[in-house]
Amino acid sequence: MSEDLFDLHRATLDRAVEACRTRQGWSAFAEPSAGHPDGTAFQAQLGAAFDLGQPGRLGEQTDEISPYTGDPLGISYPVTPVDALFAAAQRAWPAWRDASVEARVGVCLEICARIHERAGELALATMHTAGQSLGMSRTGSGTNALDRGIEAVAQAYAAMARVPATAGWSRDFGGTTVALTKRYRLMPRGVAVVVACASFPAWNVYPALLASLATGNPVIVKPHPTSVLSMAYAVRACRDVLGSAGFPPDLVSLAVDTVAEPVTRHLVTHPATRIVDFTGSAGFGSWVEAHAFPAIAYTETSGVNAVLVDSLDEPEPVLRALAGSLCLFSAQMCTSPQNIYVPRDGVPTAAGRMKPDEFAGALADAIRAVSTVPRRAAAVLATVQSGQTLRLVQEVRDRAAGRGHVVLEPEPYAHPEFPAARTSGPLLALVDAADHELFGQERFGPVAFVITADDADHALHLATGDATRHGAITAFAYSKNEAFLDRAESAYAIAGAALTTNLTGPMPLNFSAAYSDYHVTGLNPAGNASLTDESFVAGRFRVTQSRRMKG
Amino acid sequence: MSEDLFDLHRATLDRAVEACRTRQGWSAFAEPSAGHPDGTAFQAQLGAAFDLGQPGRLGEQTDEISPYTGDPLGISYPVTPVDALFAAAQRAWPAWRDASVEARVGVCLEICARIHERAGELALATMHTAGQSLGMSRTGSGTNALDRGIEAVAQAYAAMARVPATAGWSRDFGGTTVALTKRYRLMPRGVAVVVACASFPAWNVYPALLASLATGNPVIVKPHPTSVLSMAYAVRACRDVLGSAGFPPDLVSLAVDTVAEPVTRHLVTHPATRIVDFTGSAGFGSWVEAHAFPAIAYTETSGVNAVLVDSLDEPEPVLRALAGSLCLFSAQMCTSPQNIYVPRDGVPTAAGRMKPDEFAGALADAIRAVSTVPRRAAAVLATVQSGQTLRLVQEVRDRAAGRGHVVLEPEPYAHPEFPAARTSGPLLALVDAADHELFGQERFGPVAFVITADDADHALHLATGDATRHGAITAFAYSKNEAFLDRAESAYAIAGAALTTNLTGPMPLNFSAAYSDYHVTGLNPAGNASLTDESFVAGRFRVTQSRRMKG
């Protein structure tokens, strides 16, 4: 049955393995259709129980409140004691551990297909928990996230396929030939815990969940308590597919906690935990890495991403690209830029030097062209996932006002469909390199700084220093000076952030393509795992062997 | 220059990559020649300075005493402060980090060749520090260890070669095609620390050192203070080859400490450490794994390895094979068996049931055939590396005498060439499964138990339980019952020890073949790293990327 699933998805797998090899880019999915999805199922779920058939009672999740409506979703999820989750996972494990690689990979790819079938429901769930726009819920958290999941399955499959099942071996010992038949088995490590973030869970959970599952490990998914529903759908898809394929559904389960009583530390340090995937803050990520032993930890946290503006022909397309990226999902992405460095004596352009305050003013105008037009703002900025983020933005605004110049106030926009939506345009402040204490760390949410530096190399030095100390995932440079761009590429390779140079046009600057862009390097505090290199999958299974005399 | 080295060793590399793929077994080296090596250089080194050109003064290593002569080697090694080692490594790093994969791999393979050129000197150094026989010093610590080193280089090269250097990528965004050129760079992680054990350093140091070096990391080698010389030779070979190839020799350095003032914890937790390879006790290995963060740790420690005797045709070849393995280097190998389980009502043989005391007595006779014949004993048992080991053997002997039956006393033999050699034949005790407290952990050195259990499945249950709790690397089963052997293979796959079944003949039971046998699974406390799977190399380098608009 599950080998049938392998055959069914074989073409997708082969194409994904090839895409991982060449990294030329590909998608298993067509562009999501436009138009509003059918909301019937989603509406019916609100205020209702979400039963997964897990052990334990159902309990209402009061932390889950739509950033669009301000209303609690009122959904009851299974509340399963942590020890019961591990016990169920371990009971379920043997059948999965002993299944063939093909059976497991077939199930994983069917899970992706099953999630995709429910794309509309999932998109609405993502909107009303993570607060993303409908478009991003369908792409970034939909097809792109599933592509990253398939990418992880493909890398896991390729890695497992490189281990031979058997080998014949012989050698001479003092004139006598000893011949052995050796058998190599792929052994999963054990129970995997996947800890999701609130604002963009699917993109990291799918690869982690599927990489662990494909390599034979049971998985406990721990969503953020304010952002459970989309992960509950994903876990249901896993359990349904596993069950249909004849495996115990408890191979994938959901651990629901609350803001008041979090269970992440308990899950990470549980004696049965063997793998932890964590997405969240850099501070908590470091705690996970330091305390996961004997489990191995894969983390993706956050960083302070920079833009180095050295010299431009035409400022306008660059400003539009920057504004788009600063507005995209109100900069609540780990790839969003924050610190935009310009030379203190201005940015050389075809029309002469553009002084820092001119540059900042023009950037503010480009942002306003998005943030003050409700329909565009709704599509690009969407909402702010957490009220805490708004408070932090205000705090930074007040501090920035005391040290520099607030070029653009972080003002809410009126969402055309959801009058109660929690929104905020970006804060843009003009500061100097000397104000490092203000911008030298990640300020999560719609916060950006235009920072005056001596010159582009000074900016590069500051920005890569922050990347090394506090983490960074992306970086952007605009320059007509090839020698500077080469220096920037080398410096960022060492600092471990992906550098994109001179990009303008319709692609969001921080778009990260499945199968092609490596996401996070593991070389700075923004995380130790990369989507998707071989080290992301290699540790999730081990090889055991047996030897017998031949003949 | 160093690319020339790649061309020079290309055929070896290709063959090694192929051997890693098929795991059919191969060696880059001919069998070591017989006859005594020229000892001139070794003799000249005794009592003299071993200068490596490292920063710091030279200091005499008073802990290094030959297990053969009882005399201090009297060698002075560089005593470089830990911070100076890291500073030198980091100064040396950029040239190596920026070198091509081919240049680095060429240097690594030339290092193996250079070490092999000095095989005679190195074998004598291994004898008089680790205490191995001349034969084992030449094979296990010579050619086999170098083969495992080349295996690690081959796996590292294959992993790096699977990452494309560039990719062309394009995608439609709202009707506009965005085309990017992406460049992927392999970035080493940073300074690597390799901590060696006293009795068998080369076998683990070569793979660790070469895997880290091939992937671009500087390496600090920390030998056991009683067993420095062979590692000093290896480090000198690295520094010579690096220097000749135009790289800074400080890419590989030696950290010499003393028993009184160890520096391992300091090295492991140094803020500049990014990779740790550790060989030593399971307890210290766990400490390393738990405290290495932010470095990643690869460990190989020790375990309690078992033999399950279920049923035999002819006992004699089995007893001879077991005796050989119990005697080999006085069981001071992490693969040496310790616990030999037999059914309480006897082992069925072609000649009827062999009662446990008969079996133990016959095994003692087979051991005596090695341990009481000085020339054989010298070739097989060699010496006991540490006086502490003899004291522990005596302690176990006294406890075993109180609980069971000492079948064979651990008596020294008179070495035919070295009258002062520290030697001991194995202790063999007959105990019951109920005496678990005595045998349920590793007793390092020449200690073995014949343990009576209800039956083979009871023994399997006990032995795999100990493997899971305390670690195990190898396991051995003798049975005519195919169903039992299948159960044993499955149980040991889960417990994470390599099972060898029904092996007799001239190959030492615990022989582990480079390119073919996976050594350590990472599934139990005997270590988290495996020689040599992809996870052994995948984490030592990362991938960074840059993107530019095309055209």
Judged by CB atoms closer than 8 Å, whether chains meet at B498 and A548 is answered as: no
> Could you give the CA distance from residue A459 to residue A249 in angstroms, rounded to a whole number?
52
Q: In Å, how far is B544's CA from the nearest CA of chain A?
A: 6
Nearest to A543 among B22, B162, B518 (CB): B518
Query: Tens of pLDDT along B425-446?
Result: 999 999 999 999 999 999 999 9
Q: Is A500 close to B548, i.e. CB distance below 8 A?
A: yes
Decide if A248 contacts A89 (C-beta within 8 A).
no
- pLDDT value for B551: 66
Q: What is the pLDDT of residues A100-132, one digit of tens each?
A: 999 999 999 999 999 999 999 999 999 999 999
Q: What local confidence, expressed as pLDDT, does residue B404 receive?
A: 76
Q: What are phi and psi of A300, to 5 degrees?
A: -140, 120
**At B544, which amino acid appears?**
T
Chain A contact set for B546 (CB, 8 A): 489, 492-493, 498-501
B532 CB-side CA count, 13 A: 36
Instruction: Report pLDDT for B132.
Output: 98
How many whole angstroms separate alpha carbon A292 and alpha carbon A276?
Answer: 7
- A535·B535 Cβ contact <8 A: yes
**Contact (CB<8Å) A169/B25:** yes
Rounded-to-integer distance, Cα B445 and Cα B428, Å: 12
In 3D, which of A111, A125, A145 has the Cα closest to residue A238?
A: A111
Chain B nearest-CA residue for A186: B493
* Long-range own/partner contacts, residues B163-168 (CB < 8 A, 24 or more apart): B163/A533, B163/B543, B164/A21, B164/A22, B164/A23, B167/A22, B167/A23, B167/A24, B167/A25, B167/A516, B168/A24, B168/B550
Structure tokens at B336: 């040496």
Q: Which of B468, B507, B521, B531 is most worth mutating to test chain A (most A CB atoms within 10 A of its CB)?
A: B507
Instruction: Locate the chain A residue with the closest alpha carbon to B487.
Output: A546
CA distance B518 to B496: 11
The angle subtended at Cα A143 by Cα A141 and Cα A146, nearest 5°, is: 85
Instruction: Please report residues of A whose CB lies closer than 8 A to that of B187.
Output: 493-494, 496, 521, 523
Residues of A in contact with B545 (CB under 8 A): 498-499, 517-518
- Give residue B1's pLDDT: 56
Report the largest interatomic distance among the alpha carbons of chain A, rounded to a whole angstrom.
87
Query: Per the CB < 8 Å rule, is B167 touching A502?
Result: no
Closest CB from A21, A162, A507 relative to B173: A507
**Phi, psi dihedrals of residue A420, rounded to the nearest 5°:** -90, 5
Residue B3 has pLDDT above 80, yes or no: no
Give pLDDT tens digits for A162-188: 999 999 999 999 899 999 999 999 999
Measure in Å the smallest separation between the Cα of B433 and chain A Cα atoms: 25
Å between A473 CA and nearest CA of chain B: 10
Question: Any idea what the Cα angle at residue B329 is, between residues B326 and B334, rounded to 5°?
Answer: 75
Is the pLDDT confidence value at A3 over 80?
no
The band of A551, judged by pLDDT with boundaries at 50, 70 and 90, is low
- Calpha distance A99→A216 (Å, rounded): 8
β-pair partners for A76? A49, A60
Q: How far is CA B484 from CA A95, B308, B341, B499, in A?
A: 20, 11, 14, 13
Instruction: Give the full edge-to-edge strand order of the sheet including A296-300.
Output: A252-254, A219-222, A191-195, A273-279, A296-300
Q: For residues B534 and A542, what is the distance between their CA atoms, to the nearest angstrom? A: 10
- Dihedral sign (CA B311, B315, B319, B322): negative
A with B: how many residue pairs have Cβ under 8 Å apart?
A: 210
Q: Classify residue A18 by its DSSP letter.
A: H
How many helices and strands in chain A, by DSSP H and E? Answer: 19, 19
Beta strands in A34-141 (DSSP E): 57-60, 76-79
Residue A2: per-residue pLDDT:
62
User: Searching chain B, which residue's CA lies closest to the CA of residue A169?
Assistant: B24
Kindly report the average pLDDT of chain B as a whole number. Answer: 97
Q: What digits encode the pLDDT tens for the residues B21-71?
A: 999 989 999 988 778 999 999 999 999 999 999 988 999 999 999 999 999
Q: Residues with Cβ < 8 Å from A285, sequence gap 6 or more? A: A278, A299, A300, A301, A525, A527
Q: For tokens 């279920």, what's the residue?
A: B310
Total residue count of chain B as it appears in this document: 551
> Per-residue pLDDT tens for A282-300?
999 999 999 999 999 999 9
Residue of A144, A182, A314 best to disrupt the B interface, most CBs of B under 10 A: A182
Contact across the interface for A534 and B159, Cβ inside 8 Å:
yes
Closest residue to B546, CB basis, from A22, A489, A542: A489
A295 chain-B contacts, CB cut-off 8 A: none
The pLDDT of residue A126 is: 98
How close B56 gets to chain A, by Cα (Å)?
29
Average pLDDT over residues A239-266: 98
Candidates A107, A93, A112; CA nearest to A187 is A93
**Which residue shows structure tokens 């804060």?**
A427
- Which of A25, A171, A492 is nearest residue B171 as measured by Cβ atoms? A25
Give chain B positions within 8 Å (CB) of A178. Answer: 505-507
Q: Predicted confidence band at A491 (pLDDT cuts at 50, 70, 90)?
A: very high
- Our CA-based measurement puts residue A73 at a distance from the nearest CA of chain B, in whole angstroms, of 33
Nearest neighbour of A178 by CB, restricted to B506, B517, B534: B506
Residue of chain A minimizing CA distance to B523: A189
Pairing of strands B57-60, B76-79: antiparallel
Phi, psi at residue A64, to the nearest 5°? -90, 105
Nearest to B534 among A290, A534, A545 (CB): A534
Judged by CB atoms closer than 8 Å, whether chains meet at B162 and A504 is answered as no
b/e for B328-363, b at 16 or more Cβ within 10 A?
Answer: bbbbbbbbbbbbbbbbbebbbbeeeebbbeebbbbb
Q: Name every chain B residue with its beta carbon within 8 A of the beta carbon of A549.
A: 501-505
A407-440 pLDDT, tens digit each: 999 999 999 999 999 999 999 999 999 999 999 9
Contact B174 A518 (CB under 8 A): no
Contacts of B139 in chain A (CB under 8 A): none
Residue A483 distance to chain B (closest CA, Å)? 14
3-state secondary structure of A34: coil
Q: Does ipTM surpass 0.90 in this model?
A: yes
- The DSSP string of B47-91 is TSB-----SSEEEE-TT-B-TTT--B---EEEE--HHHHHHHHHH
| pLDDT for A500 beyond 60 | yes
The full length of chain A comes to 551
Contact (CB<8Å) B23/A184: yes
Residue A51 has pLDDT above 80, yes or no: yes
Q: Starting at the edge strand that comes first in sequence, how are the strands of the sheet with B337-343 ordered?
A: A166-173, A176-188, A541-549, B498-501, B474-478, B305-309, B337-343, B447-453, B427-432, B405-408
Residues of A in contact with B168 (CB under 8 A): 24
The tokens for A450 are: 């235009």
Residues A344-360: tens digit of each pLDDT:
999 999 999 999 999 99
Picking from B321, B286, B159, the residue whose alpha carbon sits closest to that of residue A549 is B321
Of the candidates A111, A113, A136, A108, the one whose C-alpha atom is nearest the C-alpha of residue A124 is A136
Nearest-CB residue to A164 (from B22, B176, B505)? B22
B-chain CB neighbours of A499 within 8 Å are: 545-547
Smallest Cβ distance to B169: which of A513, A522, A547? A513
Residues 6+ apart with CB under 8 A from A125: A42, A45, A229, A230, A233
Question: How far is residue B453 from each of residues B100, B342, B435, measured CA to CA in Å?
Answer: 57, 6, 11
- Rounded Cα–Cα distance for residues A44 and A50 (Å): 11
A340 DSSP assignment: E
Cβ distance A25 to B170 less than 8 Å, yes or no, reads yes
Least CB–CB distance from A167: residue in B23, B501, B507? B23
User: Which among B173, B503, B538 is the nearest to A534, CB-wise?
Assistant: B538
- Give the burial string for A15-36 (b: 16+ CB within 10 Å, else e): bbbebbbebbbbbbbeebeeee
Q: How far apart are CA B384 and CA A392, in angstroms?
A: 65
Residues A247 and A229 sit within 8 Å (Cβ to Cβ):
no
Contact (CB<8Å) B544/A521: yes
- Which position has the higher pLDDT, A47 or B302? A47
Q: What is the CA radius of gyration of chain B?
A: 25
Residue A408: strand pairing partners: A428
Contact A507 B534 (CB under 8 A): no
**What are B71-94's pLDDT values in tens digits?**
999 999 999 999 999 999 999 999
DSSP state, residue A342: E
The DSSP annotation for B464-520 comes to HHHHHHH--SEEEEE-S-HHHHHHHHHHHHHHT-EEEES--SSS-TT---TTTS-B-
pLDDT tens for residues A21-50? Answer: 999 989 999 988 778 999 999 999 999 999
By DSSP bridging, strand B337-343 and strand B347-349 are unpaired
Whole-angstrom distance, CA of residue B130 vs CA of residue B197: 9
